[in-house]
Structure 1
Amino acid sequence: MSVSPVSTHIAADDVEKGGNDVEDVKGDGEAGVPEVAKVDEEKPLAPPSFPDGGRRAYMTTLGGVLVLFCTFGTSNTYASFQDEWQRNQLKDYTPSSIAWIGSAHLFILFIMGLPSGRLFDAGYFRYQLPIGSLLWCLGIFMLSLSTEYYQLFLSFSVCLGMALGLVFSPTLSCVASYFSPKKRTAFMGSVAAGAALGAVVFPIITNHVFPRRGFPFGIRILAYIHVALLLLANILMRPRNDIPPRKPPPALPLISSFLKQPATWCACLGCAFVMLGMFIPIFYVQVFVQDHGASPTVVTYALPILNAAACLSRVSIGVAADKFGNLTVAVPVTTLIGGMIFAMLGATSTGGAVAFCVVFGAASGAWVTIMAPSLISLSASVREFGVRAGLGFQFVALASLIGSPVAGAILGATPRTSSGEANYLGVCVFGGCATLVGAGLLAVARGCQVRAKGTQWV
């Protein structure tokens, strides 16, 4: 799930025509050569140009891929953890109780989006990445030692959630700073695809190792991979030296003005309702196919198939969004997600399970890529980008916290079918309806923008 609040620092890069808000003050020197550059602190500065390539830009992009491969790739492997814990370490707990571990992880990730982005704006990326990497490695090794509920919660939810929240948005913003808007979408999509690629590889490892060598051994394999790749990422990634750090503008006045706009409420609530339902299949797909008697091969590869489809769509959806507008693309994508959650009820055969994973994975991957740009598309100024995305992510954080536990409670309260299988009807109705409500709210937000801008492509 590669979701990113966009930093206000990167938003400043998009000032039209690359103009710098700098007032030349002539002194006693040669005519036309300024001795003092007076900066208007109320206006964002744009760097003189974008490299749009070069060794440092490509090395930073590769480093970003590695960061998201390890971190968000592991987060998107949660379904295999949920399955393992339900059947072994936490078999005495309800699915709803176990789901709190994953949902709290997402909550901490999203709630940190705004402060971590503002730290990036202030020029602290060179500290955020190594500290976040160390915290991530500590958390993953502690996870391998965890056997009790509170231990799993502290290591996975708190430690890994904080580490990911510290590096996720700044990593994407650092990569974005090297590319102009015309090329940025492709490279951002490539970095986001690293998360989906990790979520293809890691479930294959865990689903093969957990039954044979146990949970601790499987997690330690992931931990050693993470240590090596995150070390390499810290060597590769470098923030641009020609962009001076600056104090971000105050957020509260902007937030207050945004909340007076109906489009803001519709977009933020729309994103929240979509995320309320979308994570349910991601958390439960492996348990679902196993409960319905799918072959061991399908159980093992259901999550990798879902994330492989997401990987492809994350790269390609940006092209459509650039052409037709983020909100215009978001409405049909989220509608498809809602429909596929209902369709999950019929994915009880091998072919049905594979088809569901492919279509749902592609749709969810597309949404994760365009969610933050959809929030940002409401902006009247580039200075609003980071705050708008951060505000929306506070709504998303709350939805991510409660969605999967509520689904687990519904699953536990629903009587089993006549054949003794778990009954997912209530879960799918809850998730599908929530997502479709979100799609409707996004459609209203789009309508507001169409009227405000006088164009269909918003």
Structure 2
Amino acid sequence: MTTEILPYINASDLEKYPEGGLEAWLVVLGSWCAMTAGMGLLNTIGTFHAWISTHQLSTYSSSSVGWIFSTFPFFLYFAGVQIGPLFDVYGARVLVITGSVGLVVSLMTLSVSTEYYQIILSFGVLGGLSTCCLFTTAVSAIGHWFHKRRGLAMGVACTAGGTGGLAFSLIILFLAPKIGFGWAIRIIGFICAGLCGVACLLLRSRLPPNKTAGAKIDLMALKDPPYAATTAAIFLVEFAVFIPYTFLVDQALHAGMRQQLAYALIPILNASAIPGRLLPGYIADHYGRLNTMTATAIFCSLLTFLLWLIGSSSHACIIAYTVLFGFWSGAAISLTPVCIQQVCKTEDIGKRTGTTFTISSFGTLMGIPIAGAILGGGDDYDGLIIFAGCLYVAASIAFVIARGLTGGWGMRVII
């Protein structure tokens, strides 16, 4: 007999969650629009890295350019320690408006940037901070409206990242060579402005403001073993996931893949990530959120070693890895907030989510530059691939520990 673990929630609390209805699903739609803009850009960093490292910053090393594309996810997650508690106190509307304006300004500034410092400030810093406002608000708002169906709702919303990454990558791939990189980015900015306008209208919180929420890292929460173990596991996943996203195109070009096909790998990856964000969410609601994350981390580690490493010189293996990794890594975005919410009280969702993502931000900051440094100025990608695979192995172990601490070590426990 299976046992379902719903920590920190009693029966009377569960009755208060709408778990559906027009108002709740409109919030999901608003979250989808906000994340299509912000997380879509995050999922386009591989295309950005390949273009900028061969055009605007062609004289810089791979590790140096990597700092730009690690700065974006770093600020996206690091600023969560401020944005999460602000959501608890002020709700969704003011944060979505702030993030929307910042993101559009970031893209318009990027479209005219040519120097290293200009790109890192416009895209890495301002883009990351603005996306943090949108992402943290989007996932926290869903946590107010769903509990038993939270994995499904979050999965639906998080298909936005793959959708945006697919669309934005294709815009750069096909339009940048014809109309220029600057105008391609402006077109993306116009699309993001429209999406953010819809998000501003639809995103809202359900619970009254929590005036006791403080804008600080809640390190004392790490005394709670299930939350601490879950945070460690998410840190390792975020450390690992952006390495393939960033270097897959470069490695394919090194393997002799023609440029147009290599650049198309990121749209392919994002297309496969769409069901990879939706289906694991549905499965997680039935078989457990931590159980599902454990399985996805194990599959990502196996794929990295067995397909990307062993088949690094085979175009067929690289394409197969792109499709399969895109699917299985999708849960790194859609289920990590759900896992955090699984081990905290509803009124602390913003603060705990912000704390976990702030800690994880240091993994995102270090992952891409370290991988670039492992690569160095050479052309041997094996060390970089092994590094990413080992991080996924460590994440798998951490999720197993988090699962055991949260719901017990029985194989049939749903957690």
Shared fold, TM over 0.5: yes
Q: CA 1:289 to 1:395, structure 2 compared with 1: closer, same or farther past 3 Å?
A: same
Q: Unpaired segments of 5 or more residues in structure 2?
A: 1-6
Find the partner of 1:446 among 399, 403, 413: 403
Aligned-residue offset at 1:363? 1.0
Aligned-residue offset at 1:431? 1.2
Secondary structure, aligned partner of 2:408? helix
Aligned-residue offset at 1:70? 1.4
Q: CA 1:382 to 1:93, structure 2 compared with 1: closer, same or farther past 3 Å?
A: same
Number of aligned residue pairs: 407
Secondary structure, aligned partner of 1:182? coil
Task: Tell me how far apart the structure 2 counterparts of residues 435 and 339 of structure 1 sit (CA, whole Å).
Answer: 9
Find the partner of 2:281 among 318, 323, 335: 318
Aligned to 2:380: 423
Q: CA 1:180 to 1:91, structure 2 compared with 1: closer, same or farther past 3 Å?
A: closer
In structure 2, what residue type is equivalent to 1:427? L
Question: Which string of whole-angstrom CA distances, capped at 9 and with x for unpartnered residues, describes residues 225-252 of structure 1?
Answer: 2223322332x31525x74323144587
Question: Which string of whole-angstrom CA distances, capped at 9 and with x for unpartnered residues, describes residues 33-68 of structure 1?
Answer: xxxxxxxxxxxxx9x6628222x4444332322211
Aligned-residue offset at 1:165? 1.0
CA contact (8 A) 1:271 1:371 kept: yes
Q: CA 1:183 to 1:371, structure 2 compared with 1: closer, same or farther past 3 Å?
A: closer
Q: CA 1:238 to 1:87, structure 2 compared with 1: closer, same or farther past 3 Å?
A: closer
In structure 1, what residue type is equivalent to 2:172? T
Aligned to 2:21: 53
CA contact (8 A) 1:275 1:435 kept: no
Q: CA 1:455 to 1:353, structure 2 compared with 1: closer, same or farther past 3 Å?
A: closer
Task: Tell me how far apart the structure 2 counterparts of residues 253 and 211 of structure 1 sit (CA, whole Å).
Answer: 44
CA contact (8 A) 1:135 1:160 kept: yes
Q: Does 1:356 align with 2:325?
A: no
> What does residue range 161-176 of structure 1 map to in structure 2 within 5 Å?
161-176=128-143
Find the partner of 1:109 among 62, 68, 76: 76
Task: Tell me how far apart the structure 2 counterparts of residues 58 and 370 of structure 1 sit (CA, whole Å).
Answer: 18
Aligned-residue offset at 1:265? 3.9
Question: Which string of whole-angstrom CA distances, capped at 9 and with x for unpartnered residues, describes residues 278-323 of structure 1?
Answer: 2110011112212212134422321111111111021111222122
**Identity, % of aligned pairs?**
28
Aligned to 1:308: 271
Q: Unpaired segments of 5 or more residues in structure 1?
A: 1-10, 20-45, 416-421
Find the partner of 2:366 among 402, 427, 435: 402
Q: Does 1:278 align with 2:235?
A: no
Q: CA 1:340 to 1:452, structure 2 compared with 1: closer, same or farther past 3 Å?
A: closer
Aligned to 1:17: 12
Q: Does 1:134 align with 2:101?
A: yes
Which moves more between the two structures, 295-304 or 137-146?
295-304
Aligned to 1:434: 391
Q: CA 1:129 to 1:390, structure 2 compared with 1: closer, same or farther past 3 Å?
A: closer
Task: Tell me how far apart the structure 1 counterparts of residues 159 and 115 of structure 2 sit (CA, whole Å).
Answer: 33
> What does residue range 203-352 of structure 1 map to in structure 2 within 5 Å?
203-234=169-200, 236-239=201-204, 243-249=207-213, 255-256=219-220, 258-342=221-305, 343-345=307-309, 346-352=311-317
Task: Tell me how far apart the structure 1 counterparts of residues 250 and 148 of structure 2 sit (CA, whole Å).
Answer: 42
Find the partner of 1:202 among 139, 161, 168: 168
Question: Which string of whole-angstrom CA distances, capped at 9 and with x for unpartnered residues, describes residues 126-184 of structure 1?
Answer: 2111121111111100000100000000000111111111121112333443x442343
Q: CA 1:78 to 1:441, structure 2 compared with 1: closer, same or farther past 3 Å?
A: same
Q: Does 1:118 align with 2:81?
A: no
Aligned-residue offset at 1:452? 8.3
Question: Which string of whole-angstrom CA distances, capped at 9 and with x for unpartnered residues, describes residues 338-366 of structure 1?
Answer: 22222313143332222111110111102
Aligned to 1:67: 34
CA contact (8 A) 1:137 1:227 kept: yes
Secondary structure, aligned partner of 2:90? coil
Which fold has the larger relative contact order, with Cα–Cα distance below 8 Å and residues 6 or more apart in sequence?
Answer: 2
Which moves more between the two structures, 90-99 or 297-306?
297-306
Find the partner of 1:377 among 339, 342, 355: 342
Q: CA 1:158 to 1:85, structure 2 compared with 1: closer, same or farther past 3 Å?
A: same
TM-score under structure 1 normalisation?
Answer: 0.82
Q: Does 1:77 align with 2:44?
A: yes
Q: CA 1:139 to 1:201, structure 2 compared with 1: closer, same or farther past 3 Å?
A: same
Task: Tell me how far apart the structure 2 counterparts of residues 184 and 122 of structure 1 sit (CA, whole Å).
Answer: 22
Find the partner of 2:357 among 360, 378, 393: 393
Secondary structure, aligned partner of 1:294? coil
Task: Tell me how far apart the structure 1 counterparts of residues 233 and 207 of structure 2 sit (CA, whole Å).
Answer: 35
CA contact (8 A) 1:197 1:307 kept: yes
Q: CA 1:57 to 1:298, structure 2 compared with 1: closer, same or farther past 3 Å?
A: same
Task: Tell me how far apart the structure 2 counterparts of residues 273 and 119 of structure 1 sit (CA, whole Å).
Answer: 26
Aligned-residue CA RMSD in angstroms? 2.6
Q: CA 1:136 to 1:96, structure 2 compared with 1: closer, same or farther past 3 Å?
A: same
Aligned-residue offset at 1:385? 4.1
Rg larger in 1 or in 2?
1
In structure 2, what residue type is equivalent to 1:158? V
Secondary structure, aligned partner of 1:259? helix
Task: Tell me how far apart the structure 2 counterparts of residues 447 and 243 of structure 1 sit (CA, whole Å).
Answer: 31
CA contact (8 A) 2:83 2:354 kept: no
Task: Tell me how far apart the structure 2 counterparts of residues 120 and 266 of structure 1 sit (CA, whole Å).
Answer: 24
Task: Tell me how far apart the structure 2 counterparts of residues 64 and 373 of structure 1 sit (CA, whole Å).
Answer: 14
